[in-house]
Structure 1
Amino acid sequence: MIRIMIVDDQEMIRIGLRGILSAQSEIEVVADASDGLQALQLLENHEVDVVLMDLRMPGIDGVETTRRIREKFSGEQLRILVFTTFDNDENVFAALKAGANGFLSKGASPAELAAGIQDVATGGGVLSATASAALIGHVAQQAPARVPAPEQQAQLELLTARERDVVVAIAQGLDNQQIAAQMFISPFTVKTHANRAMNKLGARDRAQLVSFAYQTGLMT
């Protein structure tokens, strides 16, 4: 069972999300908060696996709330999935830098949301198409391709050919379904290759895979 806390300042959205997620047998909503400070307080008394985090809230926003959660909980202890309408370059990068593990738009369907929660909960890092584009644009500008440092080259050599291909595809902004179709494998196999690549490279999520691909010249 994946234990969820919803953090959103709009009550109707919290109610709607509770209804959607309660219909999923493998997901349990254990708490919801109307702002970041309440979320931090609730985490002291509730065991939570994934925080579903809005960005624009009164008081401290979702980015600052994410940063404060990361001061107390590591990515292994607690996962954070940003769920917002504000998925521009600045917000995506700020949230991921603060410690978020994934980024979905509120335009996602209930099935996409449930799948994203499961992906993040099991160590993945789902990114919406818009968030992927924003992240890739930022990383491409900030980290021009270069020759890998010796330690990075050693990490690259740990990857199988298929894992390397999946990392490149992720850095191109493709999701699991698109990568699966391109490589003639199943989405589950894509996820397995991505997770293994993250473990070998010490990447927290897909966002760090994208950064690694550009920093090492794997993706130009």
Structure 2
Amino acid sequence: MIRVLIVDDQEMIRTGLRTIISSSPDLEVVGDVGDGFLALEYLDAHPVDVVLLDIRMPGIDGVETTARIRKTHAPERVKIIILTTFEQEENVYAALSAGANGFLGKGVGPVELIDGIIDVSAGGGTLSTAAAAAAISRLAETPVQRVDEPLARRFEALTARERDVVVEVTKGLSNDEIAAAMFVSPFTVKTHVNRAMAKVEARDRAQLVAFAYRAGIAPSS
């Protein structure tokens, strides 16, 4: 059972998220709190697998809360998904840089929300389409001046198919879109992505994209 903590300053949002998450037999909402300070206190006293965290809150926002969580809770132990209506690139990039494992807009459907939590808990990373586009836009507008050779050598361990999939991921495409373009199943794409992340030691999909840019294998804009 995956233990989820909901952090949002709006009680109505917390109630809705609790209802959706509790509908999955694989997930359990162990708590819901209204701000970042309460989230930190809760994590100090209770075991949690995934924190579903709003980015705009009174007190300390989601980016600062993420940074503070990461000081005492490693990404392998506590996963963080930023959930918000604001998917501008500065928010996405700041949250991912602070140590978030995924980023979803509040407009995602129940299935995508549940799948995202399960995927992140299993070591993957989830990015909504808008969030992926924002993160990739930020990376693409700052061209790499010099290829990170040690990182590039990690990508040499990828098979040709895995490398092709990674290139498609750097374009901001979802697994379904990549699957359609490559005439394979979404499950096959997900398997390639997960194997690529493991080989290059990327903690999630967003970091895989960042690594690909630094290693010089992402297509130029």
- 1:206 corresponds in structure 2 to 205
Note the alpha carbon deviations across 1:196-220, whole angstroms, 9 max, x for none: 1111111111111111222222112
Taking only the aligned residue pairs, the percentage that are identical comes to 59
Q: How many residues end up aligned between the 2 structures?
A: 219
Gaps of 5+ in 1: none
What CA distance in whole angstroms lies between the structure 2 residues aligned with 1:56 and 1:152? Answer: 34
Shift of 1:83: 0.6
Q: Do the aligned partners of residues 65 and 148 (structure 1) sit closer, same or farther apart at CA in structure 2, a change above 3 Å counting?
A: closer
Matched, 1:153 2:152: yes
SS at match of 1:119: helix
**What TM-score comes out, normalization by structure 1 length?**
0.96
- Structure 1 counterpart of 2:123: 123
Q: Which amino acid aligns with 1:10?
A: Q
> Who is 2:27 aligned against?
27
SS at match of 2:57: coil
User: Residue in 2 aligned with 1:133?
Assistant: 133
Cα deviation, 1:95-136, whole Å, max 9, x if unaligned, reads 000000000000000011011111111111111111111111
Shift of 1:165: 1.0
Aligned-residue CA RMSD (Å): 1.2
Q: Which residue of 2 aligns with 1:189?
A: 188
Task: Write out per-residue CA displacement over residues 133-188 of structure 1, whole angstroms, 9 at most, x where no aligned residue.
Answer: 11111001223375451x22321210011111111111000011111111222222
| Aligned residue number for residue 99 of structure 2 | 99
Aligned counterparts, 1:70-89, within 5 A: 70-89=70-89
Q: TM-score, normalised by structure 2?
A: 0.95
User: Which segments of 5 or more consecutive residues in structure 2 lack a partner in the other structure?
Assistant: none
CA distance in 2, matches of 1:129, 1:30: 28
Corresponding residue number in structure 2 for 1:10: 10
Structure-2 residue corresponding to 1:170: 169
Whether contact under 8 Å (2:151, 2:214) holds in the other structure is no
Does the CA-based 8 Å contact 1:145-1:214 persist in structure 2? Answer: no
CA distance in 2, matches of 1:106, 1:95: 15
